[in-house]
């Protein structure tokens, strides 16, 4: 407050001669800022805190750059941020943009009334970066699993960072927007899928919390029930002893000892059942916590690239091969009945014959030599995929 | 010392043997470590001397196929070396198997867990079949589970490559409860469909938590199958009456799978039904199975690291680390463990074992010595 240029020293309480009244007045004001907008419904958005409210940045030095009114003159002053990241007060917004889109009084970009958002951060560049990053995260949501190798993933992350940087610093905006649009078009389904995944993950977390809470409640109830039972048991045991002492004519000490032993037996039996219950719930709980740490991934039928390339041969329906004579002569259908397939033998013979045809001859163990034949090394893989 | 011997010694030096963890029909399994990295391994010691005809057939098969197959869902053979008269296979160390997990009543299976195990099994099997290898002994106890939850197909002692046309194969393979009807009828010409039947039985077992078709003898096995799935007609399975050991076992009506698997989804039952089709040529193959809608439907298969694991291995892990370290510093780790095995060593032909005890080859990894 002290370095506010346009407000004279008389604002500070100590220079004013009318006692401490004004000084205390400014003090209260700084503690209770009156942010009560008339149009909160319109100016939604902004960063929400944990309780779901929009936490808004403001300071006592706020001044509208358009009408120059400040918080001292107008305690209800509320500055909002335009899409070109310029601040102005609500009354200026109402005044300028109520009749439709109009140019920004600072940079003359055409703005609409609805495009103003509350300010969350003191520094508007941070505000902008957060907004840009939030937008980027919505569309560039690919994950590590979506890439075949780490290199591709890193390249992708770098591209995302590149686009983000451009957007924040207004470099090649048109070109950057084109890049974003292209990415969106190419990956529409994947983006959709990943949004779905995020939701599922959030859902799993919620369920986990729910089940934990239920578990705790259940345990509390159980403990209470046990306590009650125990009390009842003790009570009953005491009555029992008295009854027996009354009716029987045996030695008093013996009677007491016997009923005590009975009671002990009962309690130990009960505690045994409760411990198994507890260990079971612990087991299930530990599985539940695990499931949120490592998410299950969809099934991938084969995890190697064995079938990724085309075979260098085509199987025919029939081969005139003397070896398979026996199978063809199998009039009784004995081989057929046992499930023997001569096609498998043919397939094997052919595969073994052509496997390795594309592999270049070894010219030494120097890896540089192998790079002379890009793409030809893994064409045929047998027994080592 | 000639060059071969020298190379063998070099290899042997790369591994240390710790304590014994289990015993199979023809081998003893030790826990060991790679000297350079400290990585845990399992060392399978095969006795050569005790068999009349030299090396046991299963050991030959195991080395032959595992040397070539490298896949996430197939157990990895890291090294082979000989010590004195024994052959040693160095395999990756896996702490439990699917049978232990199925039997552990404290574990709860979700439908997504079963889906994950099935996907891994089919992936491993597809890899074997694509490389023209039949496993021929699939059962929960041969599907090992790594500490990160990955399922690995193990025990290639009965494996075989696809037969050439007209060549006979033995029908005395696959543990009885998982053996398909064509083998029970004595067919000597069969295909990869035999493994799919076994996987179908394992699939059902995962849902029921008890073996699906537990026959008491080969005859009873057929009866059990037919009782569960109905006696096949000539239309269901053309040519089955011509199979060498065909015997009519009685007529049983078809009951829908839905009656037994009340909680399973329609997709689940569809895939199970396709694995258990009588006609082997119509049975689904591993690649098709992986593309079945069951795997794509929600819930997604559980991530391997979150699959249920037996609690005993989880709690004993820190303890294991401790004695692992102790054994590493000890000079001769194998000597102490080796002594008692000589008494327990069993001699049994593979045929006996298969028809006699369905769970004979069990390696108990939970055992601590």
Q: How many structural domains does chain A have?
A: 2
Return the axis-axis angle of helices A173-186 and A188-247, rounded to nearest 10°: 60
Looking at the fold, whether A202 and A156 belong to one and the same domain comes out as yes
Q: How many CB pairs under 8 A join A and B?
A: 125
Sign of CA dihedral B256, B261, B265, B269: negative
Tell me the sheet residues that pair with B46. Answer: B27, B87
From A295's Cα to the closest Cα of chain B, the distance in A is 7
Of A122, A154, A187, the last residue of a domain is A122
The dihedral region occupied by B160, where left means phi > 0, alpha psi between -120 and 50, and beta the remainder, is beta
Q: How far is CA A182 from CA A140, A177, A188, A260, in A?
A: 12, 9, 10, 82
B24 is in an annotated binding site: yes
Residues of A in contact with B315 (CB under 8 A): none
Looking at the fold, whether A88 and A138 belong to one and the same domain comes out as no
Residues of A in contact with B188 (CB under 8 A): 338
E-assigned strands of chain B?
Answer: 15-23, 27-34, 40-47, 77-83, 86-92, 96-97, 133-134, 143-145, 151-153, 160-161
Return all residues near B304 (Cβ < 8 A) that are at least 6 apart: B116, B120, B148, B149, B150, B151
Minimum-distance CB partner of B119 among A295, A299, A327: A299
Q: Please answer yes or no on whether A339 and B193 come within 8 Å at the CB atom.
A: yes
The dihedral region occupied by A130, where left means phi > 0, alpha psi between -120 and 50, and beta the remainder, is alpha
Collapsing DSSP to helix, strand or coil, A107 comes out as coil
Separation CA B175–CA B188 (nearest Å):
17
CA angle A82, A86, A92 (to 5 degrees): 75
Residue A230 host element (H or E): helix A188-247
Walk me through the domains of chain B, giving residue ranges and CATH numbers: 11-92 (3.30.200.20), 96-306 (1.10.510.10)
For the entire predicted model, the pTM comes to 0.56
Minimum-distance CB partner of B242 among A332, A340, A348: A332
Q: Is pLDDT above 80 for A263?
A: no
Tell me the sheet residues that pair with A89. Answer: A79
pLDDT in tens, chain B (369 residues): 688 888 888 888 889 988 888 886 678 889 999 988 888 999 988 876 655 566 777 888 889 899 989 999 999 999 998 887 788 899 999 988 999 999 988 888 989 999 999 999 999 999 999 999 999 999 999 999 998 999 999 989 889 988 788 788 888 889 999 999 999 999 988 999 999 999 999 999 999 999 999 999 999 999 999 999 999 998 989 888 888 889 998 899 988 998 899 889 999 999 999 999 999 999 999 999 999 999 999 889 999 988 998 875 443 333 333 333 333 333 333 333 333 333 333 333 344 434 434 444 444 555 444
A163 falls within a domain:
yes
Looking at the fold, whether A136 and A110 belong to one and the same domain comes out as no
Residues of B in contact with A342 (CB under 8 A): 165
Looking at the fold, whether A52 and A81 belong to one and the same domain comes out as yes
Looking at the fold, whether A92 and A139 belong to one and the same domain comes out as no
Of A122, A156, A171, the last residue of a domain is A122
Separation CA B304–CA B150 (nearest Å):
6
A366 falls within a domain:
no
Of A224, A243, A259, the last residue of a domain is A224
Separation CA B135–CA B285 (nearest Å):
14
Looking at the fold, whether A131 and A117 belong to one and the same domain comes out as no
Looking at the fold, whether A141 and A220 belong to one and the same domain comes out as yes
A97 falls within a domain:
yes
A296 falls within a domain:
no
Residues of A in contact with B238 (CB under 8 A): 333, 336-337
Q: Which tokens is A385 given?
A: 């995929």
A78 falls within a domain:
yes
Looking at the fold, whether A117 and A206 belong to one and the same domain comes out as no
Looking at the fold, whether A89 and A177 belong to one and the same domain comes out as no
B25 is in an annotated binding site: yes
From A291's Cα to the closest Cα of chain B, the distance in A is 7
Complex-level ipTM: 0.73
- Contact A322/B at CB under 8 A: no
A85 falls within a domain:
yes
Mean pLDDT to the nearest integer, A213-219: 91
Question: What is the residue range of A161's domain?
Answer: 123-224
Question: In this structure, what DSSP letter does residue B71 have?
Answer: -
A347, A382 contact by CB (below 8 A) = no
Residue A89 host element (H or E): strand A87-89
Determine whether B323 is an active site residue.
Answer: no
A304 falls within a domain:
no
Looking at the fold, whether A45 and A133 belong to one and the same domain comes out as no
* Long-range contact pairs involving B49-55 (C-beta distance under 8 Å, separation at least 24): B49/B85, B50/B345, B50/B347, B55/B87
B44 is in an annotated binding site: yes
Looking at the fold, whether A55 and A139 belong to one and the same domain comes out as no
Q: What is the pLDDT of residues A79-123, one digit of tens each?
A: 888 888 888 888 889 888 888 888 888 888 888 888 888 888 888
Q: Please answer yes or no on whether A383 and B68 come within 8 Å at the CB atom.
A: yes
CATH number at residue A84: 3.30.40.10
B320, B162 contact by CB (below 8 A) = no
A303 falls within a domain:
no
Looking at the fold, whether A65 and A152 belong to one and the same domain comes out as no
Residues in A 293-312 with any Cβ partner in B closer than 8 A: 294-299, 301-304, 306
How many other CB atoms sit within 10 Å of the CB of residue A220?
10
Separation CA B15–CA B142 (nearest Å):
24
């Amino acid at each position: 407050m002290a370095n506010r240029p346009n407000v004279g020293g008389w604002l500070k309480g100590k220079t004013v001669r009318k006692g401490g009244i004004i000084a205390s007045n400014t003090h209260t004001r700084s503690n209770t800022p009156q942010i009560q907008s008339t149009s909160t419904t319109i100016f939604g958005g902004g960063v929400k805190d944990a309780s779901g409210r929009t936490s808004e940045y403001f300071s006592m030095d706020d001044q509208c750059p358009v009408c120059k009114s400040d918080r001292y003159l107008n305690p209800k002053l509320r500055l909002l941020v335009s899409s070109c990241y310029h601040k102005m007060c609500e009354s200026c917004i109402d005044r300028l943009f109520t009749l439709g889109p109009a140019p920004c009084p600072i940079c003359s970009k055409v703005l609409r009334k609805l495009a103003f958002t509350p300010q969350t951060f003191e520094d508007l560049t941070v505000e902008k970066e957060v907004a840009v990053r939030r937008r980027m995260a919505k569309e560039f949501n690919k994950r590590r699993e979506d890439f075949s190798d780490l290199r591709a993933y890193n390249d992708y992350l770098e591209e995302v960072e590149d686009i983000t940087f451009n957007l924040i610093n207004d470099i090649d905006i048109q070109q950057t927007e084109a890049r974003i649009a292209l990415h969106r078009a190419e990956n529409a389904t994947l983006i959709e899928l990943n949004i779905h995944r995020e939701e599922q993950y959030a859902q799993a977390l919620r369920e986990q919390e729910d089940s934990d809470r239920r578990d705790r409640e259940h345990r509390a109830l159980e403990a209470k029930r046990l306590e009650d039972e125990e009390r009842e048991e003790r009570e009953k045991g005491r009555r029992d002893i008295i009854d027996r002492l009354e009716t029987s004519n045996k030695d008093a000490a013996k009677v007491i000892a016997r009923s005590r032993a009975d009671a002990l037996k009962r309690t130990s039996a009960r505690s045994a059942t409760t411990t198994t219950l507890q260990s079971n719930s612990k087991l299930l709980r530990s599985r539940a916590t695990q499931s949120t740490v490592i998410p299950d991934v969809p099934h991938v039928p084969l995890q190697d690239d064995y079938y990724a390339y085309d075979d260098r041969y085509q199987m025919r329906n029939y081969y005139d091969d003397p070896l398979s004579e026996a199978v063809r002569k199998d009039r009784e259908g004995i081989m057929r009945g046992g499930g023997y397939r001569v096609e498998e033998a043919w397939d094997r013979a052919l595969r073994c014959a052509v496997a390795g045809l594309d592999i270049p001859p070894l010219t030494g163990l120097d890896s540089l030599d192998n790079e002379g034949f890009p793409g030809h090394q893994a064409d045929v893989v047998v027994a080592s995929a | 010392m000639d060059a071969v011997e020298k190379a063998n010694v070099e290899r042997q030096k790369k591994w240390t043997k710790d304590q014994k963890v289990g015993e199979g029909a023809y081998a003893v399994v030790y826990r060991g470590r790679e000297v350079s990295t400290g990585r845990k391994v399992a060392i399978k010691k095969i006795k050569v001397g005790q068999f009349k005809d030299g090396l046991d057939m299963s050991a030959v098969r195991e080395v032959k196929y595992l040397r070539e197959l490298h896949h996430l869902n197939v157990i990895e053979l890291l090294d082979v070396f000989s010590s004195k008269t024994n052959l040693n296979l160095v395999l990756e160390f896996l702490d439990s198997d699917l049978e232990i997990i199925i039997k552990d009543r404290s574990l709860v299976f979700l439908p997504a867990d079963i889906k994950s195990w099935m996907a891994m099994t089919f992936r491993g099997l597809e890899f074997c079949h694509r490389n023209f290898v039949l496993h021929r002994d699939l059962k929960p106890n041969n599907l090992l589970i790594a500490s990160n939850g990955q399922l690995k197909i193990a025990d290639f002692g009965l494996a075989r490559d696809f037969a050439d046309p007209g060549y006979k194969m033995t029908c005395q393979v696959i543990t009885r409860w998982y053996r398909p009807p064509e083998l029970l009828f004595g067919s000597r010409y069969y295909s990869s469909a035999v493994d799919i039947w076994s996987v179908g039985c394992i699939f059902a077992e995962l849902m029921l938590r008890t073996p699906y078709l537990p026959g008491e003898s080969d005859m009873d096995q057929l009866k059990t199958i037919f009782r569960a799935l109905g006696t096949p007609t000539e239309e269901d399975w053309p040519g089955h009456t011509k199979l060498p050991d065909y015997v009519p076992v009685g007529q049983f009506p078809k009951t829908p799978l839905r009656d037994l698997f009340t909680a399973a989804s329609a997709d689940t039952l569809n895939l199970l039904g396709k694995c258990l089709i009588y006609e082997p040529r119509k049975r689904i193959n591993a690649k098709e199975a992986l593309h079945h809608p069951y795997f794509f439907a929600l819930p997604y298969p559980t991530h391997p690291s979150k699959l249920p694991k037996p609690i005993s291995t989880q709690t004993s892990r820190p303890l294991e680390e401790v004695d692992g370290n102790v054994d590493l510093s000890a000079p001769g780790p194998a000597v102490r463990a080796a002594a008692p095995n000589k008494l327990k060593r069993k001699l049994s032909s593979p045929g006996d074992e298969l028809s006699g005890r369905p769970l004979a080859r069990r390696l108990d990894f939970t055992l601590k010595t």
